[in-house]
Structure 1
Amino acid sequence: MPEISSRVRESHVPRQRGGAALVSYVLPVFNEQDGIRHFHDELVAALGERPEFTYELVYVNDGSADGTLAILEDIAKNDRRARIVDFARNFGHQMAITAGIDEARGDAVIVMDTDLQDPPKVSLELIDAWRDGAEIVHARRRTRQDTLFKRATAHAYYRLLRSSTDVDIPLDTGDFRLMDRRAADELRRFRERSRFVRGMVASMGFRQSEVHFDRDERFAGETKYPLRKMARLAIDGLTGFSTAPLQMITKLGFAVLALSLLGICYALAMKVLRPEITVSGWTMLMVVVLFLGGVQMLSLGVLGSYIGRTYSEVQGRPLYTVRQVIAHDHDVAAGDDGIAGNGNGNGNGNGNGTGDDD
């Protein structure tokens, strides 16, 4: 049976055996029983093309409700490079990435989805760019096999986000990327709850580069990012890295003030020039009241989003809860580097740690 680590990791020490760099793969998984084994086989085949490195495969089971965990346990039993971070419940894609990075020990850390939309062979190109000196390598989508609606909304969103923030967030990139050890350790210091990992990575600086690839269709199963989750992630990205919505309220206020002044001028003109029809102003009155009411509700909603983020941060609750870490790595079982239980994510083992990328 797989051995379960029980001690909390105190620090990250890159492991090198005979001069071979260790590359860690962070692999969030949620209800992927139909495709996870095929993904693992594809990844192993790709890694066989780079035998000069050693690898660890950190699968994060994000509270899967199907047979995913049993398959992952079997994978760990047959591949000593694999370890499983098993969440106590579903915490979401961004938290799963966070937990995987907290657990990863490699000289380089690669984050990718397990639905084969991110081709494993492309990760080798990320490694090549890292060897050439890049500290963060983004996998940028040249094309993507999605619906027209998803392609159009994603295209518009990334450009809106980039134009409204001070952070240079790469266009058309998800969470598929490589970070070297220094960048990964820096990212582990970012512990906000409303997480937009790709924005955090872009904000850190370091030497960044891109690798272009064609994103494939899902191998099996359904997307774990329906419209509701995509909208939530988009809001997290916009409110987490931009005050543009707050600035929009101010601009909207000036616009409403200008329209109100025009309305006042119109009402006074009608009173003077057409006094016989002033009683018929009920329609305008209703339009103005409804318009102002809508503007006020929109403004309160934007303010509420920022206040809600502050409320969540003040609570100081763990980002995630780990039920167990499963591995055949005897060093981990002995307590060298494993993490288990709750974490507040400050890098000292109180981790907070998590769906499918948009």
Structure 2
Amino acid sequence: MKSISVMTPCYNEEGNVQEVYQRVRAAIAGLGPGYIYEHVFIDNASRDNTWAELRKLAAADKNVKIIRNTRNFGHIRSPMHAFHQCSGDCVIGLVADLQDPPEMIPQMVAKWEEGFPVVVCVKTGSDEHGLMYWIRTKYYRLVNRLSGVETYENFTGFGLYDRRVVDAIKSMRDPYPYFRGLVAEIGYPHYSIEFHQPLRRRGITKNNFYSLYDNAMLGITNLSKVPLRLVSFAGFLGALLSVCLGFAYLIYKLVFWKNFSVGIAPLVIGMFFLASIQLVSLGIIGEYIGQIHTQIQDRPFVFEQERVNFEYPPGEPLISALTEIANEERKA
């Protein structure tokens, strides 16, 4: 039997975890015999009843494995920690808000069986606000153009990853990884499955401006040195422009000595222009220094408060149940 791990990060998703579990279970059952699975949930210190709901699921089904963090470690570190805890022959990552349809699992597994170590699910449309979808699309395109490796546009991380890919990602030991960039960096052959992303039906999104900005800058600084090169280019361009303007003013002053008065306005405008260039440049450099600082700290992804059902290998309760049924049939 082949084992499949499904990983779902949660934060204040009490209204969704039951349905996610049921739909994942139904999707795995639809694969037929020959597959066992585990469903790993990680709760990022939710403030609602998410953990209580997860404990109910874990008590009823030993294939459900749950982790609770000591605090909220953010939308980057918590999912990666759960990803590292998965032990299946392949790992499927999907979010708890049901915008990643679990019904696509059989398609992903079928392509995995055909020999693709990476199966990525790519959005071709979304029911979210049109402006937000347009901004996301342009961002993915920008990252792809700036990056030194080819990335997958409109790919959020929803997909299937073979154990070889999982082990390769774990070997990188990045304490604050850009997951989509890591998958592209490894370079294994992939297959893209297109889907239309539905709206969140329950709860509210946990993404705010800061988390979106953090993820955007993480993608750019992890995959590209182009912004740093632009800083250098802006410095050279500004110096060249200053020299040219200085010579132009000097010549004009020599020709029209008595009639030309420079005034203070060009001086003030020039100072503000140079100051703005310096601030932007410092900001870009600061983003890269921040990434270096994070890498040097080399802290764990999260600290756990509790974990449940990890003493069971993937699918062991299911195998035990099937064995008991077979033994009873023999006795009968």
Does TM, scored on the shorter chain, surpass 0.5?
yes
Are the counterparts in 1 of residues 111 and 119 from structure 2 also a CA contact under 8 Å? Answer: yes
Between the two proteins, what is the percent identity of the paired residues? 27
Distance 1:95 1:284 in 2: 49
Q: Corresponding residue for 1:255? A: 237
Q: Among 135, 149, 155, which residue is 1:173 paired with?
A: 155
Q: 1:278 to 1:66 in 2, by over 3 A?
A: farther
**2:326 counterpart residue number:** none
1:30 aligns with 2:11: yes
DSSP 3-state at the match of 1:266: helix
Question: How much does 1:315 deviate?
Answer: 2.1
Q: Secondary structure at the match of 1:188?
A: helix
Shift of 1:329: 5.0
Q: Which runs of 5+ in 1 are unaligned?
A: 1-19, 333-358
Maintained 8 Å contact 1:80/1:329: no
Paired with 2:210 and 2:296, the residues of 1 have a C-alpha distance of: 25
Q: Which residue of the partner structure matches residue 12 of structure 1? A: none
Question: How far apart in 1 are the matches of 2:259 and 2:128?
Answer: 57
| CA distances 1:52-71 after superposition (whole Å, capped 9, x unpaired) | 21110000111111110000
Which residue does the alignment assign to 1:54?
Answer: 36
The 1:274/1:118 distance shift into structure 2, 3 A limit, reads: same
Which among 108, 118, 127 is matched to residue 100 of structure 2? Answer: 118
Structure 2, unmatched stretches of 5+, are 315-332
Matches of residues 151-162 of structure 1 in structure 2 within 5 Å? 151-162=133-144
Whole-Å Cα distance in 2 between the matches of residues 277 and 292 of structure 1? 28
| 1:184-242 residue CA offsets vs partner (Å, 9 max, x unmatched) | 11111222233210110111122211111111111211111122211110100100111
- Structure 1 residues 284-341: Cα deviation after superposition (integer angstroms, max 9, x where no partner): 0011111111111111111111112212222232221111211275569xxxxxxxxx
Paired AA for residue 54 in structure 2 = L
Verify: 1:149 aligned to 2:131, yes or no.
yes
Partner of 2:66: 84
TM-score (norm 2): 0.90
Q: CA deviation at 1:276?
A: 4.0
Secondary structure of 1:56's aligned partner: strand
Whether the 8 Å contact between 1:134 and 1:209 is mirrored in structure 2 is yes
* CA deviation after TM superposition for structure 1 residue 48, in Å: 2.1
Partner of 1:45: 26
3-state SS of paired residue (1:193): coil
Match of 2:319 in 1: none
1:257 CA displacement: 2.2
**Is residue 2:230 matched to residue 1:238?**
no
Alignment-mate amino acid for residue 189 of structure 2: R
| Post-superposition offset of 1:277 | 5.2
Q: Kindly indicate whether residue 99 of structure 2 is the aligned counterpart of residue 99 of structure 1.
A: no
TM value normalised by structure 1: 0.84
Q: Which has the higher Rg, Structure 1 or Structure 2? A: 2
Q: 1:289 to 1:190 in 2, by over 3 A?
A: same
Distance 1:63 1:278 in 2: 69
CA distance in 2, matches of 1:58, 1:102: 11
The letter of the residue matching 1:64 is: S
1:297 maps onto 2:289 in alignment: no
Tell me the residue number matched to 2:181. 199
* 1:98-142 residue CA offsets vs partner (Å, 9 max, x unmatched): 111211110110011111100001122111110111001111111
The change in CA–CA distance for 1:294 and 1:82 in structure 2 (over 3 A counts) is same
Contact 1:77 1:328 in 2 (8 A): no
CA distance in 1 between counterparts of 2:310 and 2:280 reads 53
8 Å Cα contact 1:76/1:328 also seen in 2: no
Q: Are the aligned partners of 2:28 and 2:105 in contact in 1 as well (CA < 8 Å)?
A: no
CA distance in structure 1 between the partners assigned to 2:232 and 2:252 by the alignment? 30
Moved more, 269-278 or 169-178: 269-278
Native 8 Å contact 2:146 2:224 kept in 1? yes
SS at match of 1:59: strand
Secondary structure of the corresponding residue to residue 172 of structure 2 = coil
CA contact (8 A) 1:33 1:68 kept: yes
For residues 305-316 of structure 1, the aligned pairs below 5 Å read 305-316=287-298
* Contact 2:5 2:88 (8 Å CA) reproduced: yes
Q: Distance in 2 between matches of 1:105 and 1:156?
A: 35
Higher helix content, 1 or 2: 2
Mapped to 2, the partners of 1:38 and 1:330 lie a distance apart of 23
Shift in CA distance, 137/330, structure 1 to aligned 2, threshold 3 Å: closer
